[in-house]
Every structure is written in structure tokens, then in C-alpha cells.
């Protein structure tokens, strides 16, 4: 029988070849319908696609194909097929209606208007509920744009009437949701949303709106349950992952947070980013040992693969941060010795560069970063590291170029705009810095750290309303984050917004965690004290005070409140009672010493501070307090000796070195003061006070062009500051550089803000003289000389010389 097989195949092929294109299209179409009736949708789709190979204009196949795509949830593909049908015949009314409804669901109002109006023009009267709803939706959009509240209210009523007739009309319910939200009726909006989600549970936008509304109503438990539901529906959505993780963390449910991260990460040999998130979480919540154990598990599971090198490098990095620096550096070098050039190798090299920089090997870090970028000029971690070094070196423009390149590669990395904001601040562009901080908030999904950073920036600019709005948005995304809530409470208390502060206290009380309950009590007490309801406020705090570290904070607040109310004796009695239960508690002893100072009892205060220093010479807090006490008593030499002795015990104390630098400046040891500020600046170039003092001293006491340019590079961040001291420093540097108008714009507000400072008045007088404004120059220089009476200020010799020339 086998010899006849080729003949049979040839006959079949011959019959197939005789079919026309139309016949082939018809056969595939019928096959598709049969498969569809049999429930085999996947093969039906294939058959419908085959139809268009032979008859692209076949409308019934195109419609069946589009309907099946829509049924399977491939909305975009279905929309494209319906568009092709309309191109063939613009008068297919059911397809026009479908296109309008799909466009409305996607928020594409241009397309909705195009197809909706076309459908309305072609439809016979009376209009079907579908078409009436399309007309209502389009009119509603127009009324929103013109803010026609009367029309919006009328269209809302029409929508409710239509729903009575057609309760399954999802578009009508969506519009009603929008109306309820606009009317601030969240409970009714939620009821409508639940009806829609029963029919369309995978509507991501509506599920997200439900979560936002639950948060707005204060139902935090339901908001959390909604996040869990969204994660089950949309497990790959990054915003949902972040939101649910933030929810668990805000409630300190670490087990649930860890389980979520492990679910996202997958099995041990899955892609590394999820597993790295687990490691970071463990390190933060359970410590270094837990993180290293997890990495050991991952290294073993991925043995012989590049992933094992990455996990081993991270293990070395963690050991480095834990203090095992030589061993960690050696482990990292060993990994790199056997690793060939690759993206992962460059990533590990960037980790090593960070370690070198942290070890003080700046040149080694710079060389390794240079090697990485020579191989791949767009390697993100190396670019960020080089940008950070360039910011430290007062090269913000170069840093910004690096960060722009990094952002092109990683537009969802919130660290990049955060670093860019630092660079813009260093370059004296606070507006651009604010834009980047806002971008970091957006990218991070309103994460607490980024939101707090931007809010504090806004508060520093005096834009407290904007900061409050930002904190409210962040709290909606992270409803039980204590740091966000406390920052919001502080802002409202500062602005005497008692109703808003009360709201925060209520939210805190609803969070079933001890620290939230303590915070609620403190906010409530601060609210009462701010309203001069002293007895009630003190009563709340006294109920909370005890001997734990958290309760000692309440004790400090009680003492502060009593002092502000003038109840010094009551504060002393209360504090002595606390000390009787714990006489060696340093926090209480510091409070006691400060209270003695406030009461004018300097001898017992000095004894307490000296005793605390003797107990713990490395603690710079009692050293500072004793120094201030001695300075107030005109015991300058003793005060300086206290600082010098303190520095022997705590040589790295930035505070004590900063105080000593001020003394050296006052004593005329300018080079010694500059040397201290240079060391402090090298350790932390982001400290704006150190930057100001260093730039000011360099400008005032050095004349060479290199020093002047260095002072200018350091002081650029002071541009646009509202701080008079910073305005004076920046303005005088610009004067020295010959930019007199820029100098004037800073020195006039500085002189107004520091009216009794002779040097600030001198700087303004010299600027007036340089601008050939003699009357104003004479007035300012005379004022500077009057204010400097009895003080040895070398600048006053120049003031007299210039004044003599002006008067001559």
C-alpha cells in the first residue's frame, strides 16, 4: 500500500491548488466558526487570521476576529480590527458604538468623540441606552472642560435615570463614579465601583481608585485588603508591589512583607533583582547575619552561573559595611579575577569602587570608575558614583551630565533625580533641584523617603502649603507610615492648624502599634499645649512617661512644656521625681543640667555636665553644654580648654571641631580655622554651614585667584538663599569677582537681615562704592565703622580709606 501514498498526497495538493482565494478564505472562515463553536478559541483565532491572507476585505471574518479578541481581553488588538472595519464601511453603527465605548473606557476622548458623534449622527431615533450614554459621556467631558456645574449636575441626573432603565450599563456607572468622587461622596463612589468590578474585576485603574478612596475615608484595614486583592490580580504591576510592601512595612508586619518579596522574587535561580530586594529587606529588618545567610543560599543554588558571582559580590559588600573591610575587599578582588568582561562584571566593579571610596581610597575608586566607563560609557552605577564624587568636588555641572546619561538608561531609578537635585543645589539652582526632587517622588511611587525629602525642601523655601499637599498624597500611598504622619503633624502644629493636627492624632490612634499610640499621645498633647490647655496636655504626657527610652522622651516634653509655661519649680520637682527612680540615666541628667541653667543655677549645672563628661568622655553633648555655660559666664579660656580636652576623647566630633574653628577665627588664627573647615568640608561637603564659613574665610583673608575661584565653587549653593549670613558670603564673593549687580542683589537683603553686623554693612558699602553710588556708600561705610567700635577688624582700615576718598 505504501507506493500509493505519494499519489494520494499529490491528488490532495492538486485539489487545494484548484481552490480560488475566495474559496480558501471561506474554508478558513467556516473552520474558524466551527472551532469557535467547539470552544477552541486559540485555533479559531489562527483560522480567522488565515482568512485575511486570501481576502483582506472579508468583513464577517474581521468582525468575528475582533469580537473574539475583545472577549479574550486583547482590547488594543480588537480596537485595531474594528478600525479596519470602519475604514471599509464608515456606516457600521454597532462597530462605531463599540469603538466609542472602548475609547471612553481608555480615556481617549478624541477617539471617543470621533466615533461617538459619528454613531449619534447615523443612529435612528429614539436612541438606544448605549447611544444615550455615549452622548451623556461626551457632553459630560465638555462640561468638565468649561466647568459648567449646572450641566454636570444635570448630566449626573440623566445618568442615574439611564441606570434605572439599563442597570448593566458599565459606562453609566463609570460616569457616576466620577461624579461621586467630584462631589466628595466616597462611600457612594465605592458602592458604584464595586458594582463595576463585579463585571470587570481586572480594571486596573478602577481597582486603584477603590484603594485611594478607601484610604481617603480612613478605612485603613479595607485599604490594605484592597492592595492584597490588587496584587492577586496584577502581581507584575510594580506600583501594586510597592504599595502592598509599603502597607506591610507601615504596620510593621515584617513576616508578610518578607513573604511578598519572596513571592515576587520567585525560585532561587530566577532573575536576580527580586532576590536582591529580599536580601536588602533582611539586612534592614533582621540584620547582617540574616542577609548573609540568604546570600549563601543563593550562591549555592546558582553555583557555576554568573548569578553566583553577583550574590557573592553583594555578600562581600555587606561584610565590608559591617566592618570586615580587608576580607571583603579581598573577596571582591577574587571574584573579579575570574570574571570576564560583561555588564555584570562592570556592576561588580562599581560595587568595588564604592567600597574603595568609603575606605578613603578616592583615587582607586576614580580609576575603577574610569575603567568601567571606558568599557561602557552608559553604565548606570558607575555614572552615579562618578556624579557623587563630582558633586563632592564642587563640579556639579559635570555631575549633571553624568546623571542625565544615567537617567536615559534607568528612568525608574529614583536615586538619579535625587542626586541630580543635590547637584543643582550645589550649583545654586534651587528651582531645578525642586523639580528633580518632585520627579524622584513620582518615580518612587510617592515613597516615604523621597516624599519627606521633597517636603522638607519645600518647607525650607517657605512653601508649606505645597509641602502639606505632598505629605497628604504620600500618606494616601502609605497610610500608616509614622514618619510621614509625624512630619504632617509637626507642620500642622507649627501653623496652628488644630483641626488638621487632630486628624493626624486620630489616624495614629487607629494604628495598632505601640509607637503609633505613643505618637498619637504626643501629637494630642502638643495640640493641647499649643491651645494653652496646659493642664490637659501635661496630663496626657504624664500618663505616658516612665523609664523606657520612649517614655523618657515624654518626660523631656513635660519639662519643656512646664518651662514654657513658666513653671520652673514644678519642672524641677517632676524631674527630681524621675531621677529618684533612675539617678544615673544620662538623658535625665542632661535635662536636669539644662533646667539648672534656665533657673540661673550655674554651679549645679556645671557639676552635672562635668560628671557626665567624666563618665563618657567621647560624648560631645555634655561637652557642648558645658562650653556654652562657661562662655555665658565669660570664662572663655576654660571653655576653649573644655573643647580641646573633648577633642582628645572624640577627635572625629564635627561639632567640637566646628566650635574650635570659630575660636581660632576670633583669635586671629585664620589659617588654623580654615584648616579645620577644610577637613570638615572634605568629610561632608553637603554641610551648608561649613561651606558658608569656609568660603567666607577664604574670601575675606586670601587674595589669589585660585582661592577666590575655590570660594566661588563652594558658595554657589548659597545663591538664592533667604539666610542673611549665606547671602552675605555669596554676595561678597561676587563682589570680589567683579559681579557687582549680583553682589548687590545678595548684600542688600543680607544687610537688612543682619543690621548690627559691621562686616555685612562694610560689604554693602563697598559694593555701593564700586557701583558709583557715593551717598549710599558713605552711609553704609559710616555705619560699619560705628558698629565696629572697640573691635579689631582689619576690614575697617579699608572702610576708612574708601570713605576718605568718597568724602574728599
Boundaries of every domain in the chain: 22-236
Q: Compute the distance between CA of residue 157 and CA of residue 152 in angstroms, rounded to an integer.
A: 9
Q: Compute the distance between CA of residue 119 and CA of residue 103 in angstroms, rounded to an integer.
A: 13
Grid cell at residue 5: 501514498
pLDDT band at 808 (very low <50, low <70, confident <90, very high): low
Q: Which of 18-22, 401-405, 613-617, 692-696 has the lowest mean pLDDT?
A: 18-22
442 versus 703: which is more confidently predicted?
A: 442
For the segment 578-585, the average pLDDT, to the nearest whole number, is 84
| Cα angle value 748/688/745 (rounded, 5°) | 15
Q: Compute the distance between CA of residue 688 and CA of residue 684 in angstroms, rounded to an integer.
A: 9
pLDDT band at 608 (very low <50, low <70, confident <90, very high): very high
For the segment 442-457, the average pLDDT, to the nearest whole number, is 92
Q: Compute the distance between CA of residue 321 and CA of residue 314 in angstroms, rounded to an integer.
A: 11
Tell me, what's the pLDDT at 18?
62
Chain segment 314-351, per-residue pLDDT in tens? 999 999 998 999 999 999 999 999 888 899 999 999 99
Tell me, what's the pLDDT at 551?
62
Tell me, what's the pLDDT at 81?
92
State the distance between the two ends of the chain, measured CA to CA, in whole angstroms: 130
pLDDT at 565 over 90: no
pLDDT over 90 percentage in the chain = 50
For the segment 250-267, the average pLDDT, to the nearest whole number, is 91
Contacts of 228 (CB under 8 A, 6+ apart): 244
pLDDT at 474 over 80: yes
358-361: long-range contacts, CB 8 A cutoff, minimum separation 24: 358/320, 359/325, 359/329
Grid cell at residue 728: 552675605
* H-run or E-run covering 16: helix 5-18
pLDDT at 570 over 90: no
Tell me, what's the pLDDT at 520?
87
Q: Compute the distance between CA of residue 790 and CA of residue 785 in angstroms, rounded to an integer.
A: 10
pLDDT at 139 over 60: yes
Tell me, what's the pLDDT at 525?
83
Chain segment 657-686, per-residue pLDDT in tens? 999 999 888 888 899 999 999 999 998 888
Highest mean pLDDT among 6-15, 347-356, 526-535: 347-356
Write down the H helix ranges in 200-287.
204-216, 220-233, 238-250, 254-265, 272-285
281-284: long-range contacts, CB 8 A cutoff, minimum separation 24: 281/257, 282/258, 283/318
Tell me, what's the pLDDT at 299?
94
Q: Which of 208-217, 534-543, 628-637 has the lowest mean pLDDT?
A: 534-543
| Longest CA pairwise span in the chain (Å) | 130
Q: Is the Cα torsion angle 259, 264, 266, 272 positive or negative in sign?
A: negative
158-169 burial, b at 16+ Cβ within 10 Å, e below that, comes to: bbeebbeeeeeb
Chain segment 46-89, per-residue pLDDT in tens? 999 999 899 998 999 999 999 999 888 888 899 999 999 999 98
Tell me, what's the pLDDT at 249?
83
Q: Compute the distance between CA of residue 74 and CA of residue 752 in angstroms, rounded to an integer.
A: 67
pLDDT band at 171 (very low <50, low <70, confident <90, very high): confident
pLDDT at 135 over 50: yes
Total number of residues shown for the chain: 808
- From residue 96, how far is each of 59, 117, 524 by CA, in Å? 14, 9, 59
pLDDT band at 442 (very low <50, low <70, confident <90, very high): very high
pLDDT at 768 over 90: yes
For the segment 563-591, the average pLDDT, to the nearest whole number, is 85
Write down the H helix ranges in 338-481.
343-358, 362-375, 380-392, 396-409, 415-426, 430-443, 448-460, 464-477
pLDDT band at 247 (very low <50, low <70, confident <90, very high): confident
pLDDT at 370 over 80: yes
525 versus 266: which is more confidently predicted?
A: 266
Tell me the DSSP string of 321-352: HTT-HHHHHHHHHHHHHTPPSSHHHHHHHHHH
The third-level CATH classification (topology) of the domain covering 22-236 is 1.25.40
pLDDT at 609 over 70: yes
SS (H, E, C) 66-83: HHHHHHCCCHHHHHHHHH
For the segment 506-513, the average pLDDT, to the nearest whole number, is 83
> Do residues 732 and 751 lie in contact, with contact meaning Cβ atoms separated by under 8 Å?
no
Tell me, what's the pLDDT at 11?
41
Amino acid at each position: 500500500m505504501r507506493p500509493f501514498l505519494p499519489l494520494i498526497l499529490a491528488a490532495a495538493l492538486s485539489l487545494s491548488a484548484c481552490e480560488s482565494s475566495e474559496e480558501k478564505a471561506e474554508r478558513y472562515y467556516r473552520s474558524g466558526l466551527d472551532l469557535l463553536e467547539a470552544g477552541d478559541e486559540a485555533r479559531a483565532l489562527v483560522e480567522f487570521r488565515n482568512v485575511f491572507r486570501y481576502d483582506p476585505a472579508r468583513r464577517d471574518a474581521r468582525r468575528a476576529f475582533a469580537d473574539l479578541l475583545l472577549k479574550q481581553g486583547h482590547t488594543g488588538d480588537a480596537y485595531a480590527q474594528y478600525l479596519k472595519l470602519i475604514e471599509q464601511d464608515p456606516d457600521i453603527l454597532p462597530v462605531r458604538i463599540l469603538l466609542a465605548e472602548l475609547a471612553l473606557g481608555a480615556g481617549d476622548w478624541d477617539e471617543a468623540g470621533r466615533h461617538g458623534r459619528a454613531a449619534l449622527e447615523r443612529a435612528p431615533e429614539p436612541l438606544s441606552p448605549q447611544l444615550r450614554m455615549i452622548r451623556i459621556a461626551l457632553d459630560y467631558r465638555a462640561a468638565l472642560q468649561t466647568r459648567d456645574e449646572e450641566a454636570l449636575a444635570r448630566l449626573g441626573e440623566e445618568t442615574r435615570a439611564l441606570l434605572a432603565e439599563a442597570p448593566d450599563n458599565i459606562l453609566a456607572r463609570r460616569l457616576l463614579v466620577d461624579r461621586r468622587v467630584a462631589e466628595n461622596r466616597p462611600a457612594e463612589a465605592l458602592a458604584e465601583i464595586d458594582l463595576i468590578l463585579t463585571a470587570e474585576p481586572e480594571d486596573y485603574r478602577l481597582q486603584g481608585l477603590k484603594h485611594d478612596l478607601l484610604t481617603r475615608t480612613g478605612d485603613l484595614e479595607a485599604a490594605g485588603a484592597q492592595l492584597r486583592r490588587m496584587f492577586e490580580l496584577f502581581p507584575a504591576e510594580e506600583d501594586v508591589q510597592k504599595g502592598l510592601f509599603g502597607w506591610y512595612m507601615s504596620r510593621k508586619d515584617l513576616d508578610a512583607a518578607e513573604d511578598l518579596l519572596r513571592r515576587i522574587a520567585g525560585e532561587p535561580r530566577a532573575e536576580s533583582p527580586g532576590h536582591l530586594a529580599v536580601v536588602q529587606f533582611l539586612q534592614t529588618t533582621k540584620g547582617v547575619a540574616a542577609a548573609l545567610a540568604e546570600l549563601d543560599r543563593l550562591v549555592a543554588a546558582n553555583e557555576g552561573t554568573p548569578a553566583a558571582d553577583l550574590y557573592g559580590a553583594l555578600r562581600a559588600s555587606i561584610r565590608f559595611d559591617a566592618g570586615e573591610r580587608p576580607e571583603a575587599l579581598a573577596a571582591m578582588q577574587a571574584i573579579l579575577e575570574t570574571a570576564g568582561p560583561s555588564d555584570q562584571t562592570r556592576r561588580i566593579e562599581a560595587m568595588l569602587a564604592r567600597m574603595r571610596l568609603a575606605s578613603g581610597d578616592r583615587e582607586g575608586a576614580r580609576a575603577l570608575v574610569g575603567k568601567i566607563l571606558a568599557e561602557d560609557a552608559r553604565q548606570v552605577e558607575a555614572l552615579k558614583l562618578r556624579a557623587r564624587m563630582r558633586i563632592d568636588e564642587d563640579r556639579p555641572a559635570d555631575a549633571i551630565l553624568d546623571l542625565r546619561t544615567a537617567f536615559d538608561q534607568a528612568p525608574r531609578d529614583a536615586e538619579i533625580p535625587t542626586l541630580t537635585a543635590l547637584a543643582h543645589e550645589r550649583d545654586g539652582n534651587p528651582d531645578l533641584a525642586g523639580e528633580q526632587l518632585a520627579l524622584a517622588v513620582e518615580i518612587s511611587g510617592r515613597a516615604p523617603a523621597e516624599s519627606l525629602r521633597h517636603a522638607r525642601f519645600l518647607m525650607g523655601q517657605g512653601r508649606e502649603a505645597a509641602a502639606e499637599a505632598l505629605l497628604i498624597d504620600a500618606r494616601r500611598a502609605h497610610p500608616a507610615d509614622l514618619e510621614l504622619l509625624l512630619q504632617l503633624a509637626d507642620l500642622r502644629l507649627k501653623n496652628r492648624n488644630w483641626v488638621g493636627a487632630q486628624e493626624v492624632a486620630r489616624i495614629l490612634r487607629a494604628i495598632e502599634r505601640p509607637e503609633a499610640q505613643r505618637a498619637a499621645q504626643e501629637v494630642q498633647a502638643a495640640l493641647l499645649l499649643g491651645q494653652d490647655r496646659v493642664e490637659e496636655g501635661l496630663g496626657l504626657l504624664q500618663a505616658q512617661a516612665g523609664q523606657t527610652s520612649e517614655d523618657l522622651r515624654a518626660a523631656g516634653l513635660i519639662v519643656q512644656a512646664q518651662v514654657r509655661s513658666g513653671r520652673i519649680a514644678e519642672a524641677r520637682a517632676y524631674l527630681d521625681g524621675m531621677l529618684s527612680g533612675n539617678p544615673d540615666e544620662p538623658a535625665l541628667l542632661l535635662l536636669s543640667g539644662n533646667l539648672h541653667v534656665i533657673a540661673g543655677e550655674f554651679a549645679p549645672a556645671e557639676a552635672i555636665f562635668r560628671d557626665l563628661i567624666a563618665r563618657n568622655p567621647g560624648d560631645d553633648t555634655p561637652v557642648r553644654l558645658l562650653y556654652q555655660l562657661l562662655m555665658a559666664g565669660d570664662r572663655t579660656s576654660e571653655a576653649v580648654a573644655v573643647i580641646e580636652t573633648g577633642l582628645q576623647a572624640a577627635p572625629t566630633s564635627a561639632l567640637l571641631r566646628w566650635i574650635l574653628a570659630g575660636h581660632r577665627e576670633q583669635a586671629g588664627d585664620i589659617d588654623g580655622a580654615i584648616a579645620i573647615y577644610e577637613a570638615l568640608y572634605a568629610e561632608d561637603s553637603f554641610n551648608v554651614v561649613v561651606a558658608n564659613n569656609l568660603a567666607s574665610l577664604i574670601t575675606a583673608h586670601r587674595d589669589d585667584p585660585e582661592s577666590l575661584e575655590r570660594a566661588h565653587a563652594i558658595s554657589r549653593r548659597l545663591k538664592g538663599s533667604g539666610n542673611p549670613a549665606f547671602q552675605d558670603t555669596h554676595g561678597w564673593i561676587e563682589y570680589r569677582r567683579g559681579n557687582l549687580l549680583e553682589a548687590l542683589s545678595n548684600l542688600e537683603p543680607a544687610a537688612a537681615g543682619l543690621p548690627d553686623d559691621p562686616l555685612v554693612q562694610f560689604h554693602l558699602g563697598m559694593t555701593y562704592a564700586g557701583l558709583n553710588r557715593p551717598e549710599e556708600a558713605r552711609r553704609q561705610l559710616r555705619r560699619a565703622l560705628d558698629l565696629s567700635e572697640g573691635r579689631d577688624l582689619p576690614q575697617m582700615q579699608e572702610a576708612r580709606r574708601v570713605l576718605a576718598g568718597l568724602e574728599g
